[in-house]
Amino acid sequence: MAGVTLHTRSPLPGAIAARFREEFGGEAPRKFFAPGRINLVGAHLDYNGGDVLPMAVDRGIYVAARLRDDGRIRLVSLDQEGGIDLRTADIGTRARRAWGWAAYPLGIWREFRREIETDKGFEAVYAGDVPMASGMSSSAAIEVATALALDALHDAGLERERLARFAHTAENEFVGVRCGIMDQYASALGLPGHVLWLHCAGPRWEHVPFDPARCEVLVMDTRKPRALADTRFNERVAECAAAHAVLRDRVRDLPHLAAYSEADLEACRDVLDEVLYLRARHVVTEMKRIANGAAALRAGDYRGLGAALDASHRSTATDYAVSCPELDVITDAARACDEVFGARLTGAGFGGCAIALIEPGSSGQVTEHVGRVFHERFGVEPEFDLLHVGDGPGELES
């Protein structure tokens, strides 16, 4: 990959370097960063061959890494329990549950090993400032940060899209989550000041400017754990595949569910199970919402973009059934503020975070109102964070 050097004021590069010295000694490691993401519109469209509009943010995962000659992999995290020390020969083809977060870097190592001749192991220290398991794709950021590191340390010069593919395959095959390509592409292809308009069929993409002087992104963490999110996520993937099979059989043969029209869907309504009908309706109508949202963003119309977020949230709640009372209440409370352009859950849903697009400088008023409403209803203080469009992934200056 063409080397991008990042400058950051985060204390985390210093912290991982210090821990690296303690843990492994020797020469100073190289350090890399890959961003987390929020998705503006296009919920659950990536694995249905639709479009998505993710933003790589200014938070993510930092890694300090170095190759090893003894065929071992040793991984430590500043945030998570359970380091790893194993032989590359023992990695196998599927992650073990006991490996926890370390399954992601191990999956990347495995993809790398399939691509280039190497008998080296590696050692690494990770730290992040994107909350784990909250819907902001910390797992894709761990994967992409590891892929950047292995690419640079082997001097392999792979394209960023290639690294995104590694990350996606690692997550699907090695970790076993049947996610689409959005998170890994959003992290690997992030560019300063832009969001990614990713057409997952293809894939093709373009970068669309996002103006931080006109709109800020407030992340609202419900602190509701995303219980069974992987299982329920895989269930939605299976439901969409089943709906697609009926449409293909009864209406016409298109490669992805997102490619069908509402008229196609109505044409086979009587043979579609009600749940499958609702899932498919979300997918085909979300394509319109993302087209509207992307057009609004292009025109600098952040209220128009916000309206697409609101409509997307409603459909994910009613038709796709991935919301929950906490996410509904927190987004409704945000929408009640004049300074909010729109709000929706982010990531897979089932708990975790929502986002609100807000007028710059208004986060104080908005968090005050939303925090009060949410606390009255659930007795829990949500957490808030103001995010910015980031600089994308890269190596950190040494």
| Sites of contact with ligand GLA (CB under 6 A) | 39, 43-44, 46-47, 179-180, 182-183, 347-348
Helices (H) and strands (E) in the chain, counts: 11, 14
CB of 47 or CB of 166, closer to ligand GLA: 47
Which residues have CB under 8 Å from 224's CB, separation 6+? 324, 326, 327, 351, 352
- Alpha-helical regions (H) of 63-159: 103-115, 138-153
Q: Could you tell me the end-to-end alpha-carbon distance of the chain, in angstroms, rounded to an integer?
A: 18
Residue found by looking up tokens 């910015």 in the block: 388
The residues, ordered by sequence, that sit 6+ positions from 138 with a Cβ below 8 Å of its Cβ are 36, 60, 61, 128, 130, 131, 132
Q: Smaller CB distance to ligand GLA: residue 39 or 292?
A: 39
Nearer to ligand GLA, 171 or 359 (CB): 171
Shortest spacing between CB 348 and ligand GLA, in angstroms:
4
Chain Cα centroid distance, residue 136: 5
What minimum distance in Å lies between the beta carbon of 278 and ligand GLA? 16
The CB-of-344 to ligand GLA minimum distance in angstroms stands at 11
The three-state secondary structure class of 218 is strand
Nearest distance, CB of residue 175 and ligand GLA, angstroms: 11
The single-letter DSSP state of residue 253 is -
The CA-CA-CA angle for residues 42, 44, 49, to 5°, reads: 80
Determine the Cα angle at 395 with ends 393 and 398, to 5°.
150
Please indicate whether residue 273 is annotated as part of the active site: no
Q: How far is the CB of 128 from ligand GLA (least distance, A)?
A: 16
Strand 340-345 relative to strand 353-358: parallel, antiparallel, unpaired? antiparallel
Among the listed residues 183, 221, 310, 385, the single catalytic one is: 183
Q: Which is nearer to ligand GLA, 88 or 187 (CB)?
A: 187
If the CB atoms of residues 65 and 387 are measured against ligand GLA, the closer one turns out to be: 387
As annotated, the active-site residues are 183
